[in-house]
Amino acid sequence: MKFRSLLFVATAVLSSLSLSAFTYEGIEYAAVTSSTAKVSSGADATGDIVIPETVYDGETAYTVTELAKSCFRDAKIKSIVLPATVTKMGSSACSPRAEEKVGLNERVTTSAMNTFNDCANLTEITLPSTLKNIGMLAFYQCVSLESIDIPEGVTLLESCAFKECASLKSVTLPSTCTKFEDQVFSTCTSLKSITIPEGVVTIPESFCYYCLSLEEINFPSTLTLIKNGAFTNCEALKELNLPGSCATIKKRAFANCNSLTNVVIPEGVVTLESDIFYECISMESVTLSSTVDVLGFGALGCWELLPDNTHRWAFSDIYCKGSVPPHFEYDDYARPEPDFFSLEEFSDDEKTAFYNSITIHVPAEAVDTYKNADIWKNFPNIVADQTGVKGTLAANAATVKCSAGNVTVEGLEQGAVVSVYTADGKELYRTVAADGAASISNLPAGILIVKAGNKASKVLVK
């Protein structure tokens, strides 16, 4: 009985300490232990705030170790500097309409859920090298944040970590960051490019959904899966350089990417699920590698609804490199009536016109196989040709010169991307034009395809 009484007294003492509150230099604190305290409220704080390492309640000194949940939620402050002793920040700790600059110290390891949620004036933040995780919604709707460097050591970005950061133009992901949850950069409408680190295996759902300005994605060679809607509505994306390691691309991964024109699906990719390129209205051609086996409902549904309620089909050519035709699978994402080219809204005349307008390029030995295969047999124009890259360079746009294993392209816009492919669609080299020209040397002998922007030309390298 005596032991129970002592235990009760000790518990009561600790409880009173944890609830003990005091004010120091205009900021409210609460004791956590006999020697540590947390910022409990700075609701009345204004201007530039510096939290000291040590605060006092009368004669008693406390080391500041954390920020409590929502402690500056309603404050009107411009910046906040935290001491090196702070290791923990509660959710929604910062003011949604105030801070412009925040510096986290080198002992913070985790950014909690909602830490900077809706901090509309936050333009600059320095993240510590000790940081390991960035929590769910940590920077959600930080609409003034233009760039962020995520330090080496961070391994995980949780759901919606940077969602709706509408001014975010650039982000540096460290090599250690190999795990992402859903919607990390969703609706970052100013984001122009992203490099996904080596070691990443899966790109999650809606990872860069509605990133309207996203022009470039650099994929890692370790990638095996792109999940639903990962890059839907990335309207500025002009090229898609997928690694062959990516065996499966799930539903609507690149739907409504309206600047894609000629897409090459590399060797190694097996499954393209429903609506992968749904309503990619600029798609002129697609090359399906010999490993592509499954096409889902509407996987190549690249058409545009016109003002008169008729439809304009984008494709003119489909290149199939496999001797065995890819087969079509109806899955749970489909509309009521299965249509693997998403023609369910087309009139019968439009469907006929669509099938007549597309040329299917296949290996010579497989022409008859495709002509007798389910769905493919609807196309009357199946021919023995599979270069995999469509079009020729416009004469007034650029010129291609080839000599002794070297290719020079002139007449380009500054920054134009120049790629060289083998005749079967494998990319050999990529560079960016400088001063309106690009030179590529030491190319292998044979027929190659030089692609500059959205146009391409065959060259013979001797």
Model confidence at 426: pLDDT above 90: no
Burial profile 81-112: b = 16 or more Cβ within 10 angstroms, e = fewer: ebbebbebbbbbbbbbebbbebebeeebebbb
pLDDT at 423: 54
On the question of pLDDT at 132 being above 80, the answer is yes
Question: Looking only at Cα atoms, what is the longest distance across the chain?
Answer: 98
| 74 band by pLDDT with thresholds 50, 70 and 90 | confident
pLDDT: is 253 or 95 the higher one?
Answer: 253
What whole-number distance in Å separates Cα of residue 29 and Cα of residue 62?
10
Name residues whose C-beta falls within 8 Å of residue 187's C-beta, 6 or more positions apart in sequence: 163, 164, 166, 209, 210, 211
Label residues 384-404 b or e (16+ Cβ within 10 Å = b): eebbbbbbebeeeebebebee
> Are 205 and 182 within 8 A, CB to CB?
yes
Query: How many residues are present in the chain?
Result: 462
Q: From the centroid of its chain, how far is CA 279?
A: 19
Q: How confident is the model at residue 433 (pLDDT cuts 50, 70, 90)?
A: confident
| Tens digits of residue pLDDT in 355-396 | 998 999 999 999 999 999 988 999 999 999 755 554 444 434
How confident is the model over 446-455, as a mean pLDDT? 67
For range 192-214, the mean pLDDT: 96
Q: 48-76: string of b/e by CB count within 10 Å (b at 16+)? A: ebebeeebebeeeebbbbbbbbbbbbebe
| Chain segment 307-325, per-residue pLDDT in tens | 888 888 888 899 999 999 9
Q: Tokens 């493919």 sit at which residue? A: 376
Share of the chain above pLDDT 90, in %: 46
**Mean pLDDT value across residues 163-181:** 94
Query: Domains plus CATH for the chain?
Result: 66-384 (3.80.10.10), 399-461 (2.60.40)
Neighbours of 202 (CB within 10 A): 18
Region 415-441 average pLDDT: 73
CA distance 270 to 355: 24
Confidence of residue 117 (pLDDT cuts 50, 70, 90): confident
Q: What is the pTM of this model?
A: 0.73
